[in-house]
Amino acid sequence: MTMGRVFLKPGKEKKILNFYPNVYEDDILSFPGEREDGVLTEICDHEGTFLAKGYVSVGSSAVVRVLTLSEEKIDGEFFRKKIENAFGRRKELLKETNCLRAFYAEADGIPGLIIDWFDGHLSLQFRNGGIEAFRKEILRAAQKVFKAKGIYEKSDLEIRNREGAGGKEGLLSGEIPPRILMEDQGVRYAVDIIQGQKTGFFLDQRDSRRFIRNYITERTAFLDVFSSAGGFSMAALKEGARKVVAIDKDPYALALAGENRELNGAGGEFVTLEGDALQLLENLGRKKEKYDIITLDPPALVKKKADVPKGRDLFYDLCEASFRLLDKGGILGVMSCAYYITLQDLLEVTRMAASKHQKLLEVIGINYQPKDHPWVLHIPETLYLKALWVRII
């Protein structure tokens, strides 16, 4: 593969030297030659001094993505070391779970690559066309590190379609069973990599599930909104909640939640409601239902900065409807997995929604993504998950 070169405008070298992995069109002084997905490219300052080495990603907002700040060779051994080092930093987590994010893109040094480990099986994403050019090398490296029973690709991503790479999904090696038993902090979950949401399970809410379990008693009525397969629901039932209601628009996710309830042998009442979350919250309000704890964990509602106002409005509506169902002492968890929605956004919309109902709030906790989804301070985009927990006082 021919090595390309890209020259940055004066001053733009600083962010690369400060470990930021993305080169945008506005950063570029000149880019001689053709642009093609996966072409290895030297990133140079305006005088031609070497800064880093990365790959081209056609159609992406980041034209070149950094792989290394050295002149090392990019080959199968390079990818093996990156993957092995990342997994090694997470092995401590295997004491509390048998499923985790084994590799998290830029945060682990390979932009665009996601690898989730489900008890010896891998769910993998190539999130752009550029990193996909190294598919063979990465798959061989992953197999060397994990010795996986099966590898399944879930690159059926909206962002790939927007960038012209197209979605891909399918078995890459070995076998993937219809169900994998995930054990996480003493709770059991049936994971379906092939038909389940995202890579198979929302692994990034581990810390939030742990947090809220401290507030659940046998008297708790728990409402899990945007429940998916019931991550929060099962944690609540495990702690003995008397009633748990799970809301999601995906009937298959709710069916998995039902399986998960059986796996855990939970004794509390468990109800699933299929449909639009906001409409169902409003329906519950009209019925004068009351809950002790509500979790709001919507999908990434905001894909770009211009969508932030619309996203804030929806969070406000969800919070406002939720406060109708909570009395004094009630707890609301408001979560966002959208990078562009900040913690400050969540604080503001939650406060405004509570004020409408003349409810005074105490912040009892703030969570981010767990340690297998590392937040690298030099790369702001690696922090995407925010969870705000408030209690009515």
Three-state DSSP class for residue 374: coil
Task: Please count the other Cβ atoms lying within 10 Å of the Cβ belonging to residue 29.
Answer: 13
Show pLDDT as tens, one digit a residue, over the chain (393 residues).
568 999 999 999 999 999 999 999 999 999 997 789 999 999 999 999 999 999 999 988 899 999 999 999 999 999 999 999 999 999 999 999 999 999 999 999 999 999 999 999 999 999 999 999 999 999 999 999 999 999 999 998 777 777 777 778 999 999 999 999 999 999 999 999 999 988 999 999 999 999 999 999 999 999 999 999 999 999 999 999 999 999 999 999 999 999 999 999 878 999 999 999 999 999 999 999 999 999 999 998 888 899 999 999 999 999 999 999 999 999 999 999 999 999 999 999 999 999 999 999 999 999 999 999 999 999 999 999 999 999 999
Handedness of CA 130, 135, 136, 141 (dihedral sign): positive
C-alpha distances in angstroms, 180 versus 119, 193, 209, 252?
7, 8, 20, 16
What pLDDT is attached to residue 263?
A: 95
Q: Which of 28, 93, 24 shows the shortest CA–CA distance to 62?
A: 24
Domains of the chain: 4-68 (2.30.130.10), 76-174 (3.30.750.80), 180-392 (3.40.50.150)
What is the amino acid identity at position 145?
V
* Six-digit token string for 257: 């939640």
Q: How many CB atoms lie within 10 A of CB 96?
A: 13
How would you classify the pairing of strands 121-126 and 113-118?
antiparallel
Give pLDDT, residue 168: 85
- Residue 293, both tokens: 């704890």
Rounded CA-CA distance 339/317 in Å is: 20
As given in the structure block, the two tokens for residue 18 are 């400060």
Picking from 283, 199, 299, the residue whose alpha carbon sits closest to that of residue 248 is 299
Tokens in use for 345?
């956004």
pTM above 0.75, yes or no: yes
Helices marked H in the chain — which ranges?
13-17, 76-88, 129-132, 135-146, 158-162, 206-213, 231-238, 251-264, 277-286, 308-323, 343-356
- pLDDT of 60 reads 87
Question: How many whole angstroms separate alpha carbon 343 and alpha carbon 352?
Answer: 14
Report d(CA 387, CA 207) in Å as an integer. Answer: 10
The residues, ordered by sequence, that sit 6+ positions from 162 with a Cβ below 8 Å of its Cβ are: 59
pLDDT value of position 159: 77
Instruction: Provide CB contacts within 8 A for 390, sequence distance 6+.
Output: 331, 332, 334, 350, 354, 361, 362, 363, 364
Q: Count of CB atoms within 10 A of residue 54's CB?
A: 28
How far is residue 181's CA from residue 191's CA, in Å, rounded to a whole number?
A: 6
Residues 6 or more apart whose CB falls under 8 angstroms from that of 189 comprise: 181, 182, 183, 201, 229, 230, 231, 234, 260, 263
- Asked if residues 38 and 131 have their Cβ atoms less than 8 Å apart, the reply is yes
| pLDDT for 305 | 92
8 A C-beta contact, residue 20 and residue 54:
no
Residues involved in catalysis: 337
Structural tokens at position 52: 């880093």
Spell 195-220 as b/e; 16+ CB within 10 A means b. Answer: ebbbbbbbbbbbbbbebbbebbeeeb
User: What pLDDT score does 1 carry?
Assistant: 54
| Rounded (5°) CA angle 294-200-210 | 40
Which residues, in sequence order, are CB contacts of 307 under 8 Å at separation 6+? 301, 340
User: Which residues lie closer than 8 Å to 308 by C-beta, 6 or more apart?
Assistant: 302, 340, 341, 345
